[in-house]
Homo-oligomer: A and B are copies of this chain.
Amino acid sequence: MNIGEVAAETGVTAKSIRYYESINLIPPAERTESGYRHYTERDVQTLHFIKRARGLGFSVAEVAELLSLYRDRNRASGEVKAIVEARLRDIDGKIAELEGIRGTLRKLADRCHGDDRPDCPILDDFAGAN
């Protein structure tokens, strides 16, 4: 398969596939005589793995770790779980932060009448008024 077919099948763009190759997330693809990249079913599976992990918010660096654990038939599942737990803590922190912000903004927005008048508690707050 060439890169376009793989892109269509995996949902990873050709640009991204080349990018992943350039940063060594995936090994360099085989080339046809004319220089086109050529992929096997195994490469497609790897890209599915990457897409899934990226979709769950893992950074490319984390995906690289996960992939290397995936390829190591002797890995300890504890290592994988540790990465996932770290990501979960990260997510919990982000959700908490966003909820805090949401609470603040919700209160400010509710106190702003939001019409043509210039009076605005939101801007007053940002400007430091109490």
Contact among B73, B85, B113 for A109, CB-based, below 8 A: B85
Interface string of A110-121 (1 = CB under 8 A from B): 001111111110
How many copies of the polypeptide does the oligomer hold?
2
CA distance A79 to B53 in the complex (A): 39
Interface residues of A, count at CB 8 A: 52
Query: Contact: B115 with A70, CB < 8 Å?
Result: no
Instruction: Please tell me if the beta carbons of A95 and B91 are within 8 angstroms of each other in the complex.
Output: no
> Chain A residues in contact with chain B, CB under 8 A?
45, 48-49, 52-53, 56-57, 66, 69-70, 72-78, 80-82, 84-85, 87-88, 91-92, 94-95, 98-99, 101-102, 104-106, 108-109, 112-120, 122-123, 125-128
From B49, B75, B94, B108, give the contact of A120 (CB < 8 A). B75
Residue among B52, B102, B126 making CB contact with A95, cutoff 8 Å = B102
Cα A81 to Cα B98 in complex, Å, equals 18
